[in-house]
Amino acid sequence: MEKIRKKIFEMVKNEYEGIEKKKFIPGKTRVPVSGRTYDYTDINSLIDSALDFWLTTGRFNASFEEKLSKIIKVKNVTTCNSGSSANLLAFSSLTSHLLKNSSLKPGDEVITLATSFPTTVNPILQHNCTPVFIDIDIPTYNIDCEKIEGAISKKTRAISIAHTLGNPCNLDKVLAITKKYNLFFIEDCCDALGSQYDGKHVGSFGDIGTLSFYPAHHITMGEGGAVFTNRKLLNKAIRSIRDWGRDCWCETGCDNTCGVRFNWKAGDLPHGYDHKYIYSHLGYNLKITDMQASVGLAQIKHLNKFIKSRKANFSKIYNNLKDLEEFIILPQATDKSDPSWFGFPISLRKNKHFTRKDLLEFLMMIK
């Protein structure tokens, strides 16, 4: 089998390198806003996992989680099937019975930003908590930290915010507030893989961080996401809720790693009830396949190159629009941050020459 793999890998490499690249013609060739970027190494990694024919999470997923944890410098990484699911897992874990009196309850208030993707907010509503929206600051497009304390009440229990389009929020101010009021902090980093604040990766500051691996994001595995935390108890809750809510922590394909699978006493269940089939959370099945993980494992090797390209693209757009600041507000990186930009937001100043609709129609016409 090993010889066959090597032969297939070589054939894919030769075929990929032999494909004639389409010539870019300025003013004519369409420049996509986003999309997958890959080479033969990504294809071969996918083929490698397909030849294993292990159809759920396996060795590629374990390697991906380990590599991602080293990059972000967090202790625990759990993959899932999307960034939206990652946000759901992150918030659900804060409602876990494992946290006892500290867990979030229905009616608790959660501070979040008014301009974000809906699945940053949806889990708050799904758990019958109340989102408290704070407006953004322009030109960073992040939550206006000066308004957070004024929105805190006796019911406030957490802050859940995204680093908008890869631009880190002011983490010094947010962390000071979470510490002062003893609040949980979820960092939605779905748009911000590789972004840093004060020399540390975003997602490593709060209680939990999340990522998305949809094709438009920094790396992709088609569909996919990840949740990460340095807190052992939260990690246990995250992995349980991802895997149907089961109490057992054995990886797929493994049994009785605790050595006492048939010697547990859980609640009112009979003594010795099979621990593998005890479910202690309201859970889901949000795992990825090993084939998805194999693509992510190959993609993560390109991450530094991808980040470098994103920064170069951002600088190019910024410099070319600099002369138009009479009409538009250009984005600005947060102090102490080093963004891995996901997009280039523009706000239009009031002027007599063109409207927002005019600008949108112009951009659509020349795309």
Positions marked catalytic: 217
Q: Which of 225, 268, 228 is nearest to 84 (CA)?
A: 225
CB 49 within 8 A of CB 290: yes
- How far, rounded to the nearest angstrom, does the alpha carbon of residue 326 sit from its chain's CA centroid? 35
Q: Give the DSSP letter string of 88-112.
A: HHHHHHTT-GGGGGGS--TT-EEEE
Q: Which of 262, 247, 288 is nearest to 60 (CA)?
A: 288
**Alpha-carbon distance 136 to 170, whole Å?**
12
Strands 196-197, 337-338: pairing kind? antiparallel
Strands 136-137, 130-134: pairing kind? unpaired
CB 327 within 8 A of CB 348: yes
Q: Give the DSSP letter string of 257-275.
A: TTS-TT----TTSPTT--G
Helix, strand or coil, per DSSP, at residue 32: coil
Radius of gyration of the chain (CA): 23
